[in-house]
Amino acid sequence: MDLIERAQAEVINRHDFFVEWFTGRAGEKDMEVSARAFAPDMLMIEPDGKMIRAGEIVGMITAARGKRPADFEIRVELVAARQIGNDIALVTYDEHQVIDGQKTARRSSAVFSADPEAPEGVVWRQLQETWITT
């Protein structure tokens, strides 16, 4: 698999994990593996502009285990993926969530770098999310 394919797989598989974790179906070992997908210096910019670092991201995910109903869903639609450096990829995608019948959507741009120790061979370096209407 090339860098672009690994980055796309990471986006899809990490969101699949989120569904399993947030509904309580994933186990602690799954969280340990998932946490390795985030670079130690990762930066996430939430839709409201708040910036959070990798440790806080992992902490928020860990604390959210089982906090969503069984019918919680996330649908990821990949919009674009491209290599922007030797070992750097940019993936832009739309994320649609349904929580208790309420739908939300955000458009995200994520930067990945190659890392053979990560679950899909890439780590999240930066994530920018923006609310969108559906």
Q: How far apart are CA 118 and CA 9, in angstroms?
A: 12
pLDDT of residue 79: 84
Q: How far apart are CA 120 and CA 115, in angstroms?
A: 8
pLDDT of residue 1: 85
Digit-by-digit pLDDT tens for the chain (134 residues) are 899 999 999 999 999 999 999 999 999 999 999 999 999 999 999 999 999 999 999 999 999 999 999 999 999 998 899 999 999 999 999 999 999 899 999 999 999 999 999 999 999 999 999 999 97
- The answer, as to whether pTM is greater than 0.85, is yes
Q: How far apart are CA 10 and CA 133, in angstroms?
A: 25
pLDDT of residue 114: 98
54-63 helix and 28-35 helix, angle to the nearest 10 degrees = 160
Q: How far apart are CA 30 and CA 61, in angstroms?
A: 12
Torsion sign (Cα): 24, 27, 32, 37 = negative
Q: Are 109 and 63 in contact (CB under 8 A)?
A: no
Q: Are 23 and 72 in contact (CB under 8 A)?
A: yes
